[in-house]
Chains A and B, each alone.
Chain A
Amino acid sequence: GEDVEQSLFLSVREGDSSVINCTYTDSSSTYLYWYKQEPGAGLQLLTYIFSNMDMKQDQRLTVLLNKKDKHLSLRIADTQTGDSAIYFCAEGGNTPLVFGKGTRLSVIA
């Protein structure tokens, strides 16, 4: 079945870049998403990429997609303490979205 894998934890220093990685299994996925969850809150859509794209940039966020390896990454430039949160990747197509378990990003001041 479909599965989305992420590493559980990432710790970076303020001002550095963060790279959060994700692998997925469904080659028919049309969209790949990144969500952010702050403590006590729901998931907030950060960005998404169509499966026919390799890269998408949105201010400090860069999404890279390697469709051959089914690998997705989210790079956050100049990471700030406000970026501390759990980040989920998800794949979507003709079936309900499948979410990874989330990567907890800790930013050290």
Chain B
Amino acid sequence: NAGVTQTPKFQVLKTGQSMTLQCAQDMNHEYMSWYRQDPGMGLRLIHYSVGAGITDQGEVPNGYNVSRSTTEDFPLRLLSAAPSQTSVYFCASSTGQGREQYFGPGTRLTVT
């Protein structure tokens, strides 16, 4: 199993550009989530999904969209990038909402 994969590993965007961060898992996990990690702030939940077709907002959802059309994929879309979205983004999956999460390697995003 590849586990949780994320692409790209690194990305530089200009303010106002849009892009999609990809996340896929091959463990047949129902629950998937997106976090951002910033220095001194720990991990903050952006959006999560308890199954295909169902998504919900986390702590910091503004400026981000998600969809969950399949069990395997959970892309995160930045609608109009802002410098405040410069961060490292992690995708995770698990068998259930409160269960142990398995993390991808992360995407390091810089917005100039």
Q: Is the CB of B42 within 8 A of A41?
A: no
Q: Is the CB of B41 within 8 A of A101?
A: yes
Which residues on A sit within 8 Å (CB–CB) of B100?
31, 33, 45, 48, 92
Q: Compute the total of residue contacts between A and B using a CB distance below 8 Å.
A: 52
Total interface residues in chain A, CB < 8 Å: 22
A96 interface residue (CB < 8 Å to B): yes
Dominant SS at the A interface? loop
Q: Is the CB of B42 within 8 A of A92?
A: no
Q: For chain B residues 23-61, which have a beta carbon within 8 Å of chain A?
A: 33, 35, 40-43, 45, 48, 58
Which residues on B sit within 8 Å (CB–CB) of A48?
100
Q: Which residues of B are at the interface with A, using a C-beta cutoff of 8 A?
A: 4, 33, 35, 40-43, 45, 48, 58, 90, 92, 97-106
